[in-house]
Amino acid sequence: MKHLHGFIINLQFFTMIPVPVELSMDDDHLKKAVKTFPLLGLLQGLIYALAVFILVHWTPLSVLAIAFILWLMMILMTGGIHLDGWMDACDAYFSYSSIERRLEIMKDPRTGAFGVLSAIVLLSTKFLFIYEIVSRITFTSYLLIIILPFLSKGLMGLILMTVQQAKEEGLAYHFRKAGDSPIGLVYLIYWIVITGLVTLIDFGTLLPIMIMFIVVMSCFILLRSKTVKWFGGITGDVLGASVEGVELMLWMTIWLLHYSVMV
């Protein structure tokens, strides 16, 4: 039951899905929330894939309109929480200041020019990938769309639990304090089970999923080595930026897989 409560906490914090339930934010519940990060991503992926399937097969909408709806849905479902982290982290990074000054910039509620420009680049690039994927949509594409946020939310949990905190405050700090260090084993079990189920449905997804997994782990290794250098460790904004960044890389991966005729 506590795992379900942890999943509900994730819905309340990281999505705009209305869940009118009040839950205790004690360490035990937050620990279960961290363990269910990938399951939250799986739910998001199922919603995105189902929405695209319905729009493609049951409506007269153009490819452009369908791509726009999916693009907008991804922003609205998360309430822009990760996008906000991306903008704050980019503002801080491109200030080329000390770590202390970068942390101050991320706390500032105002958004600078670099934050705005980085959001424009991120969103426009993601829209390009989504549009071209929808224009070449296959059955395998739907399965990869389901997997995409599942992997990105797993990355969020791994970074949260394996990289030092930049400050002892904020949402990321409280999740980390309550978390469980062997989280990688739990996520690995999820990945094996989900990958097995998806490949049973379509064996052709195995190689694309493996490529996506390699992309995510490469991002994980890079972020582990750079976040401490750039920001002194993890904050909520850095986590949000990490999710946005790796999802962009995964959309690009699926886009390239279409062009290589692997999907």
Q: For residue 143, is it within any domain?
A: yes
Q: For residue 209, is it within any domain?
A: yes
Pair 37, 154: CB distance under 8 Å: yes
Domain that residue 181 falls in? 41-259
Pair 150, 243: CB distance under 8 Å: no
Q: For residue 12, is it within any domain?
A: no
Q: pLDDT tens track of the chain, all 263 residues?
A: 656 777 888 888 888 888 877 766 666 777 788 889 999 999 999 999 999 999 999 999 999 999 999 999 999 999 888 999 999 999 988 888 888 888 888 888 888 888 899 999 999 999 999 999 999 999 999 999 999 999 999 999 999 888 888 776 666 666 666 666 678 888 999 999 999 999 999 988 999 999 999 999 999 999 988 898 888 888 888 999 999 999 999 999 999 999 887 77
Q: For residue 117, is it within any domain?
A: yes
Residue 205 to residue 2: CA distance in whole angstroms: 33
Q: For residue 15, is it within any domain?
A: no
Residue 92 to residue 114: CA distance in whole angstroms: 9
pLDDT on residue 177: 66
CB atoms inside a 10 Å sphere around CB 218: 12
pLDDT on residue 181: 62
pLDDT on residue 32: 81
pLDDT on residue 180: 62
Q: For residue 16, is it within any domain?
A: no
Hey, what are 237's tokens? 């904004």
Q: For residue 61, is it within any domain?
A: yes
**Phi, psi for 181 (deg, rounded to 5):** -60, -40
Q: How many domains is the chain built from?
A: 1
Q: For residue 252, is it within any domain?
A: yes
Hey, what are 28's tokens? 């035990």
Hey, what are 27's tokens? 């360490």
Residue 186 to residue 263: CA distance in whole angstroms: 29
Contacts of 67-71 with C-beta under 8 Å, sequence gap 24+, read 67/127, 67/130, 67/131, 67/134, 67/135, 68/127, 70/130, 70/134, 71/123, 71/126, 71/127, 71/130
pLDDT on residue 139: 94
Pair 45, 145: CB distance under 8 Å: yes
